[in-house]
Structure 1
């Protein structure tokens, strides 16, 4: 399954709210979640400094994406918009903190 770039920030925020931990490793976004003593894991490959129209999802994240889309259909566009705004705020804070670190 493929994740459109246009809603990828909303999907990532939704995963994070659902208890997933998100880390970046070289050219992979690694998404993990502890569940009943086992770890669920998914990865999204990407190239740094390159924005793609779609990102490939593995089996685990494809399943999560289907649940995400069902919630989107049930709740409408505001569901995506709210998640995007939260992620945009996190991005702005990260950029600001990075800029402050350069000055210090």
Structure 2
């Protein structure tokens, strides 16, 4: 079991998309993001503001440990690919949900 239960902000987007690629779905609650896959439930605690890091439950911390192993084995290109996927998904979400687009 991982002892580090803090998810650094700078790596939170690639980690979340790694979780999505692994079959997890996300639900935003008032105090956390809930990641579900089958009966497994991960939680990343946040209050809607940007912080240096976010507390995770044990399941998320274990997944984060696996994520870091893949990162160390594959290098920066692993993170770059996840960031690109995140940007593409965000762009698609904006076009599908124009209410989220800001009017200039």
TM-score, normalization: structure 1? 0.84
Residue deviations 1:56-100 (CA, integer Å, cap 9, x gap): 111000000000000000000000110011111212222333336
5+ residue gaps, structure 1, are: none
User: Deviation of residue 51 (structure 1)?
Assistant: 0.8
5+ residue gaps, structure 2, are: none
For residues 27 and 74 of structure 1, what CA distance do their matches in structure 2 show? 33
Which among 19, 28, 31 is matched to residue 15 of structure 1? 19
Q: Would the aligned equivalents of 2:94 and 2:100 in 1 still touch at CA under 8 Å?
A: no
Moved over 2 A (4+): 92-103
